[in-house]
Amino acid sequence: MGAEPTGSARSAFQQGAVRTSIQPNDHPYMNGAWAPQHIEHTAEDMVVFGAIPTDIDGVYVRNTENPVHQPLGRYHPFDGDGMVHAITLKDGKAAYRNRFVRTKGFEAEQAEGRALWAGLAEHPSLSERPGWGAHGGLKDSSSTDVIIHAGAILSTFYQCGEGYRLDPFTLDPLPSADWCPAEGISAHPKVDEKTGELLFFNYSKTAPFMHYGVVGPDNQLKHLTPVPLPGARLPHDMAFTTNYSILNDFPLFWEEHLLPKGYHVARFHADMKSRFGIIPRFGSAEDVKWFEADATYVLHFLNAWEDGDEIVMDGYFQDNPVPDTSPDAWPAYERIMTFLDQNMLQPKLHRWRFNLKTGATTETRLDDRVLEFGVINNQFAGVKYRYAYSAVSKPGWFLFTGVVKHDMDTGDSWTIEFGPERYGSEPGFAPRIGATEEDDGYLITYVSDMIEDRSECVIYDARRLADGPVARIILPERISSGTHATWSQGATIRASQAANAA
């Protein structure tokens, strides 16, 4: 990290200052690495340590929870407004932009100059206007997940909401996804890069409690079906294979008797089984095959594929979905900090096998370390893969301190640490132009250095992680921490944009 820098920072303020009403406070997730930013930048010719590879072409995009207004009641970091950070890498050069997602809630609060909706930690009666999604009292901040489909960024909200679309290169807002069902869509829709199709689900408090759908590469809805569940559930992610999608029904869900009173209290039913619903890609409710498995909750899955009569799926099995309060949590924020601490939830890399002929489920623990927020080379999504990249979390905090690379065939693994007081994003895997091997490419992340008070886009050679970064691109401002990120190949984006413009 001591290489001489090249280039000079040039940044231009683009959109005008957003109206903010946040007051000084001691909230652990509104300060430090989670301190919000309110300036939108466009930057080129940034300071670079090392050299940006010339055999990379695409966009790395991160979504962040970035609050704009003084909260109504207690603030939970998942309440923050969506801000998208995108860095375009091509021909050894980089261009960076960050923009707020102009959701309906964001625009309404900008007009009023204050918060209008309470958040996850408050009773919905504190909200001044009706909310969105499964909860019903929350603002759809579109600050959770981000993917790229049909030539556009798609930003989504974990409690279900609208799908907000942006141009990947300019971050200009595009028309929202008009194919969204009335119940909205959850975070973590999936893109099959082999077909260009997007697979999504949603959930709600009214029967049938879940829907599943498919959107074509032309951004048009191709399929939508109900997936009846026994009651309101809290699924967060899904997986897919070449021919199937895998949905879930975990024994962690809202207490049904409290919902009429407006209280959204989740309980883990350890005596119940986890259930996984496997549906053909264009199947209906009658086609779903349900499989039982050990009780847990899973925030994120890595990948799934077909192996003869079996579906194999990897993800992060929580050993402790509802932990006791952390003794190290800050006073007044104990439960918020506990449920954000991966070391309390204890997610472990895990494998499920579902036999489509016998209905049997088998499970295997792949790694006993606390790991989460995994990514792969997206060109291998839905098929047999070999390499995975999982985030390492700081005990007590929702912050990432490093990455573990797994060879899923041999069981070998390698770890990189970002350094003292340096916290990264969920990484993205960028295949090298012309690559023929799965791990021939680059691992990219944003890292916030709290000692230097700056953020960087950091690029590693995925095959030589121990060598450290090949490039560190200094961003114009330290960015707020957040959840999800993605990488998309430039050629794929340009081809999709051209096809959909024809």
Q: Is the pLDDT assigned to residue 405 strictly greater than 60?
A: yes
Cα 450 to Cα 420: distance, rounded to the nearest angstrom = 9
Element holding 345 (H helix, E strand): helix 342-345
Report the percentage of the chain scoring pLDDT > 90.
94
Which two three-digit tokens encode residue 174?
Answer: 């595009």
Q: What is the pLDDT of residues 41-54, one digit of tens each?
A: 999 999 999 999 99
Cα 466 to Cα 235: distance, rounded to the nearest angstrom = 36
Q: What is the pLDDT of residues 126-172, one digit of tens each?
A: 999 999 999 999 999 999 999 999 999 999 999 999 999 999 999 99
Which residue type is seen at 230? Answer: P
Is it true that the peptide bond before 427 is cis, omega within 30 degrees of 0? Answer: no
Element holding 342 (H helix, E strand): helix 342-345
| Phi–psi pair at 428, nearest 5 degrees | -125, 145
Going by pLDDT thresholds of 50, 70 and 90, the confidence category of residue 29 is: very high
Cα dist from 500 to 164, 168, 221, 381, 448, whole Å: 17, 15, 14, 23, 36
Cα 389 to Cα 258: distance, rounded to the nearest angstrom = 39
Average pLDDT value over all residues in the chain: 95
Q: What is the pLDDT of residues 186-220, one digit of tens each?
A: 999 999 999 999 999 999 999 999 999 999 999 99
pLDDT of residue 14: 47
Residue for token pair 């944003």: 446
Q: Name the nearest CA neighbour of 477 among 497, 443, 445, 449.
A: 449
Polymer length of the chain: 502
| Over residues 278-286, mean pLDDT | 98
The 274-280 sheet, strands edge to edge: 239-240, 244-249, 274-280, 289-293
Which residue type is seen at 418? Answer: F
| Over residues 291-298, mean pLDDT | 98
pLDDT of residue 16: 60
Cα 61 to Cα 226: distance, rounded to the nearest angstrom = 31
Q: What is the pLDDT of residues 306-330, one digit of tens each?
A: 999 999 999 999 999 999 998 888 8
Q: Is the pLDDT assigned to residue 221 strictly greater than 50?
A: yes
| Phi–psi pair at 43, nearest 5 degrees | -135, 135
SS3 per residue for 80-112: CCEEEEEEEEECCEEEEEEEECCCHHHHHHHHH
Question: What is the dihedral sign for C-alpha 291, 295, 299, 305?
Answer: negative
452, 454, 455, 458: CA torsion to nearest 10 = -40
pLDDT of residue 146: 98
Q: What is the pLDDT of residues 56-101, one digit of tens each?
A: 999 999 999 999 999 999 999 999 999 999 999 999 999 999 999 9
Q: Is the pLDDT assigned to residue 112 strictly greater than 60?
A: yes
Which two three-digit tokens encode residue 28?
Answer: 């652990």
Ordered DSSP codes for 449-475? ETTTTEEEEEEEETT-GGG--SEEEE-
Ordered DSSP codes for 183-252? T-B-S--EEETTTTEEEEEEE-SSTT-EEEEEE-TTS-EEEEEE---SS-------EE-SSEEEEEE-SE
Cα dist from 186 to 144, 145, 253, 399, whole Å: 9, 9, 16, 23
| Over residues 231-241, mean pLDDT | 98
Cα 162 to Cα 155: distance, rounded to the nearest angstrom = 9
Residue for token pair 């890595």: 302
Going by pLDDT thresholds of 50, 70 and 90, the confidence category of residue 12 is: very low
pLDDT of residue 6: 64
| Over residues 421-437, mean pLDDT | 97
